[in-house]
Each structure stands twice: as structure tokens, then as C-alpha cells.
């Protein structure tokens, strides 16, 4: 099951962020990369230089009017009142200098990751800066201006006619942008496990959202109850994801690995630990080798406890992508460096201690509700997937 793995990254990708006071802080990427490096996990593995996405790439899934407005907003050439209908300039999606270039760079990096895997140069690739899954055709949303996965999938479909892409999103927030872009497309399977939209942004991702026209059955949503813990989360994942991927038989798996389902995350209400961030990449790796000759591209995504959760979760992701064991302890020099800046104590271990996260009082009821959701999902979509 060994294979060649690459990290697609350069320092310019860390320009996509909205400042220290905004939840979406690229410092989490810097901390992740330095943790991987301090643990020796980059030794012998190449870094691939990303490329800036061209306007034509963006226009595969975004409208020309929208792209022009993002460009003009970044240059300060348009009034915020005109931008409001497009989600630009809100507290979630503030205008920063060169936001167009920064967003296009993320898109280009994920596109590059997909291309080096499809070319056979690498079996797996990680672009931890990617995962901007909320951006819509003509609207910024949820910290996302451009949809990197959407562009990459659209381009792959052009460059490899007949390709079947499975997009698997385990962010706590529904992967709405990618879903809607391919909602009627049977060549693209979108799977999202997330906290129910009844309680969390963006308010979508119900079981009934299963695609339309020829795409019925190819949008798969598993909305989880608030306070879902590891046992129920993993049970739902295992009941749905392998089943629908095997039915679909993809040529490539593109996974979005947001790590905001963790109990410490300040923006969500799930109760997972680092256990799921070890489990999911390992299973994606195994399923890629089982179903599509190992072709797997992974991205980052959400994750807003940038000190204690994100670096460890995405280091575990890189370890899975690059066929390495995750060390038991975090690197002492990494802890020493970042402790001086962190407002909270940094964990000494790469794995959460289960004793620190005892089950909540309603777990049997939550697990039962999630089990019923899974049954409804499979009944809705499996008869349609070919």
C-alpha cells in the first residue's frame, strides 16, 4: 500500500487569511508545517510548487461578474454596497488587499495537486491550504472567496473525459459550495458528514439534498446531531462512506479535511477528538488504494482551535498521505517556540487522552438519532448510484 506522496505548498499560500482577529487565521498552516518538519515527517518527501489559477480556471465554476467584482474589491475600486449581494465585504468575508490573488493561488495549488496525481507522478498529494468549500458560483461565503475543489473537479472533467470524482468532506460545516456546483452531475459524487444545518452554518446539508435530474443519488449528506462523539461519528462514517464510494467506483478521491468537529472548536457543537482525524485519513488512504489505484488528493478546510487541534490533526493527515506513522509526542522544540505565543497550553502528545473527553449524558440518544439518519441516507441514495 506504499506510494509516492507530495505536499503542494509555498509560503504565498499563507497570505489567504483575514487577520489575527478573524477565525480564519493562516497561522494554523504555518504551525502545522513546522510541526511536521520538527517531527521529521517531511524527510524524503518533495514539495511541489503550486501555480496561480488563471481567470479561465475560476470561470469553470464562478461567474465572470463575480470574479471581476472580487478583483475590483481587492484593488479598492468598488463600493462595499455594490458588493453586499455577492457576500463580499461582510464580517465573514472581509476584503483584504490582493484577496483575488490569494484565493486564486489556493485554487491553483489544489488544481496542481490533482494534476500531479492524475498524471501518475504521485499517488497522493496534500494541499493543506485548500478546502474552501463554501464559495458559491457568484457569492463569497463562510470565509471562502473561490472554490478550489470546484475548480479542480471541473478542470479534471475537461482534461479527463469520463472521469468520476468522489469528493468526501468531513468538515463540521456542510460542503455546500461543492455540492451545488455538481448537484445534477452523476460523474461527481459529493459526500458530506457535518453538524446538522438546523444548528450550524450554512444551514443546508439535509438528507433530502440528494441531487437533481441525472445527479439524483450523487449528493450524499449525513447531518449529525450536536455533541456527537467519536464513537457515533466514526460509526456513521463507516456506514456511509465506504458503501457509497464502492457503489460509485471513482477514478480519484478528493477529500476535504476540516478539523472543526473537535470538542475544543469554538465555532461548532460536535464532541469529537483527534481520534477521528487519525481514522478518516487512514480510511481515505485505504479506500483510494482499493477503488482507484491510490489516486487521492487531500486538502485542509475549517478548524478554529488553531493552537491545540489544527496542527495535530493536519500533521496526522500528512502522516497518512505520506505513509508514515504518527509519533506519540509533539516535538519539544515546536512546543517551546509556539508556547510563547499561545493563549492556551499546547498538548505534549499528538493524540488526545480519552479521559480528557468523557462522554456526554445524552450520547445514547444522539447515537440513536444519528443511526436513523444514516439509514435514511442510504435508502435515499444507494438505489441511484451507478
**How many CB atoms neighbour CB 21 within 10 A?**
6
Statement: residue 185 has pLDDT above 50: yes
Q: Using one digit for the tens of pLDDT, what is the confidence trace for 220-263?
A: 999 999 999 999 999 999 999 999 999 999 999 999 999 999 99
Residues 291, 249 contacting (CB under 8 angstroms): yes
What is the residue extent of each domain of the chain? 5-50+101-384
Q: With 70 as the cut, is the pLDDT of residue 2 above it?
A: no
Averaged over 359-363, what is the pLDDT?
87
Percent of the chain scored above 90 by pLDDT? 94
> Is the pLDDT confidence value at 163 over 90?
yes
Q: Mean pLDDT: which of 58-67, 69-78, 80-89 is highest?
A: 58-67
3-state SS, the chain, equals CCCCEEEECCHHHHHCCCCCCCCCCCHHHHHHHHHHHHCCCCCCCCEECCCCCCHHHHCCCCCHHHHHHHHHHHCCCCCHHHHHHHCCCCCCCCCCCCHHHHHHHHHHHHHHHHHHHHCCCCCEEEECCCCCCCCECCECECCECCCHHHHHHHHHHHHCCCCCEEEEECCCCCCHHHHHHCCCCCCEEEEEEEECCCCCCCCCCCCCCCCCHHHCCCEEEEEECCCCEHHHHHHHHHHHHHHHHHHHCCCEEEEECCCCCECCCCCCCCEECHHHHHHHHHHHHHHHHHHCCCCEEEECCCCCCCCCCHHHHHHHHHHHHCCCCCCCECCHHHHHHHHCCCCCCCCCECCCCHHHCCCCCCHHHHHHHHHHHHHHHHHHHHHHCC
Which among 9, 105, 133, 134 is annotated as catalytic?
134
Asked whether 301 and 256 are in contact (CB, 8 A), the reply is yes
The reported pLDDT for the residue numbered 76 is: 85
Q: CA–CA separation, 69 vs 78, rounded Å?
A: 8
Query: Does residue 1 carry a pLDDT above 50?
Result: no
Overall average pLDDT of the 57-63 stretch? 98
- pLDDT class for 386, splitting at 50, 70, 90? confident
Round the average pLDDT of the chain to a whole number and report it: 96
Task: Check residue 361 and give its pLDDT.
Answer: 83
Distance between CA atoms of residues 237 and 243, nearest Å: 10
Mean pLDDT over residues 39-57, rounded?
A: 96
**Confidence grade of residue 81 (pLDDT, cut at 50, 70, 90):** confident
pLDDT band at 3 (very low <50, low <70, confident <90, very high): low
- What does the pLDDT look like over 114-156, one tens digit per residue? 999 999 999 999 999 999 999 999 999 999 999 999 999 999 9
Is the pLDDT at 334 greater than 80, yes or no? yes
Residue 109 has pLDDT above 70, yes or no: yes
Q: What is the pTM of this model?
A: 0.97
Instruction: Summarize the confidence of residues 185-197 as an average pLDDT.
Output: 98
The class of domain 5-50+101-384 in CATH terms is alpha beta
Residue percentage of the chain with pLDDT more than 70 = 99
Average pLDDT score over residue span 100-123: 98
Q: What is the pLDDT of residue 359?
A: 83
- pLDDT above 50: residue 212: yes
pLDDT at residue 204, rounded to an integer: 98
Residue 178 to residue 160: CA distance in whole angstroms? 19
Average pLDDT on 76-95 reads: 92
pLDDT of residue 28: 98
Catalytic annotation present for 9? no
Amino acid at each position: 500500500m506504499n506510494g509516492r506522496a507530495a505536499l503542494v505548498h509555498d509560503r504565498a499560500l499563507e497570505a489567504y487569511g483575514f487577520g489575527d482577529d478573524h477565525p480564519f487565521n493562516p497561522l494554523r498552516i504555518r504551525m502545522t508545517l513546522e510541526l511536521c518538519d520538527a517531527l521529521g515527517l517531511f524527510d524524503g518527501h518533495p514539495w511541489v510548487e503550486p501555480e496561480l489559477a488563471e481567470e479561465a480556471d475560476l470561470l469553470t465554476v464562478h461567474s465572470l461578474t463575480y470574479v471581476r467584482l472580487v478583483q475590483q474589491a481587492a484593488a479598492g475600486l468598488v463600493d462595499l454596497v455594490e458588493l453586499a449581494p455577492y457576500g463580499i465585504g461582510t464580517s465573514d468575508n472581509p476584503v483584504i488587499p490582493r484577496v483575488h490573488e490569494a484565493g486564486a493561488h489556493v485554487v491553483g495549488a489544489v488544481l496542481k495537486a490533482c494534476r500531479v496525481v492524475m498524471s501518475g507522478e504521485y499517488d497522493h498529494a496534500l494541499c493543506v491550504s485548500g478546502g474552501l468549500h463554501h464559495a458559491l458560483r457568484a457569492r463569497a461565503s463562510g470565509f471562502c472567496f473561490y472554490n478550489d475543489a470546484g475548480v479542480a473537479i471541473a478542470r479534471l472533467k475537461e482534461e479527463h473525459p469520463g472521469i468520476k470524482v468522489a469528493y468526501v468532506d468531513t468538515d463540521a460545516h456542510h460542503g455546500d459550495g461543492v455540492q451545488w456546483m455538481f448537484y445534477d452531475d452523476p460523474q461527481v459524487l459529493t459526500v458530506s458528514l457535518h453538524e446538522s444545518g438546523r444548528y450550524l452554518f450554512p444551514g443546508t446539508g439535509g438528507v433530502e439534498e440528494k441531487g437533481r435530474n441525472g445527479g439524483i443519488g450523487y449528493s450524499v449528506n449525513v447531518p449529525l446531531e450536536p455533541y456527537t462523539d467519536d464513537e457515533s461519528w466514526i460509526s456513521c462514517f463507516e456506514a456511509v462512506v465506504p458503501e457509497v464510494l464502492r457503489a460509485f467506483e471513482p477514478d480519484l478521491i478528493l477529500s476535504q479535511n476540516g478539523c472543526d468537529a473537535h470538542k475544543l472548536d469554538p465555532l461548532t457543537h460536535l464532541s469529537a477528538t483527534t481520534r477521528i482525524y487519525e481514522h478518516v485519513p487512514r480510511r481515505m488512504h485505504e479506500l483510494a488504494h482499493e477503488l482507484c489505484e491510490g489516486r487521492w488528493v487531500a486538502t485542509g478546510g475549517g478548524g478554529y482551535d488553531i493552537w491545540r487541534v489544527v496542527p495535530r490533526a493536519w500533521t496526522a493527515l500528512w502522516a497518512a498521505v505520506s505513509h508514515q506513522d504518527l509519533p506519540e509526542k509533539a516535538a519539544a522544540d515546536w512546543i517551546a517556540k509556539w508556547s510563547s505565543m499561545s493563549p492556551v497550553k499546547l498538548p505534549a502528545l499528538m493524540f488526545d487522552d480519552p479521559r480528557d473527553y468523557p462522554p456526554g449524558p445524552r450520547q445514547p440518544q444522539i447515537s440513536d438519532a444519528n443511526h436513523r439518519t444514516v439509514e435514511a441516507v442510504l435508502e435515499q441514495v444507494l438505489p441511484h448510484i451507478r
